[in-house]
Amino acid sequence: MEVILKEDVPKLGNRGEVVKVAEGYGRNFLLPKKLAIEATVANKTVIEQMKAAAVRRSAKEKTEAEALAKQFDGLEVKFLRKSGEGDQLFGSVTAGDIAEALEKKSFHIDRRKIQLHEPLKTIGEFIVPIKLHKDVTTHLKVVVDKEAPAAE
């Protein structure tokens, strides 16, 4: 079955591409979720118009992402966590934690855009990439420090 993608679908293709997929995948997943439309002659002409609009939208999103990336220069996020022997944390610092900290600094970044391959489990300074757009990636300095022991 040939379909035209209306949105970017991971591991399948980008918006506007004509791709061949299994009948069931197209009929039961892509079409009901409006991620794709059937590849007919009429739909292919509509897609050409969608591609032109997508190029304009992508250019606008890229300029916005580049402006946001400039605001990340010199930005640092700090976490205080309890730790044990060898500076191992009790728990970890995840992409969700970093997204919350950025939210407090009035940056609205989706946690899925934070390219943290595995949670931070040790004390130290880390440089974490943040993918703001498919062509724009910035880096954020994340500092994880020991929490002062509670006085008993």
Question: Which residue ranges does the chain devote to CATH 3.10.430.100?
Answer: 72-146
What is the band of 107 on the pLDDT scale with cuts at 50, 70, 90? confident
Quick one: 72-146 is in which CATH superfamily? Ribosomal protein L9, C-terminal domain (3.10.430.100)
Residues 27-43 pLDDT 10s = 999 999 999 989 888 88
At 150 the pLDDT is: 56
2-63: CATH topology is Ribosomal Protein L9; domain 1 (3.40.5)
Question: Which residue ranges does the chain devote to CATH 3.40.5.10?
Answer: 2-63
The stretch 96-121 carries a mean pLDDT of 90
Rounded distance, CA 82 to CA 70, Å?
A: 33
Neighbours of 16 (CB within 10 A): 18
What string of DSSP letters covers 57-77? HHHHHHHHHHHHHHHTTT-EE
Asked whether 68 and 105 are in contact (CB, 8 A), the reply is: no
| Residue whose entry in the numeric block shows the structure tokens 């990636």 | 137
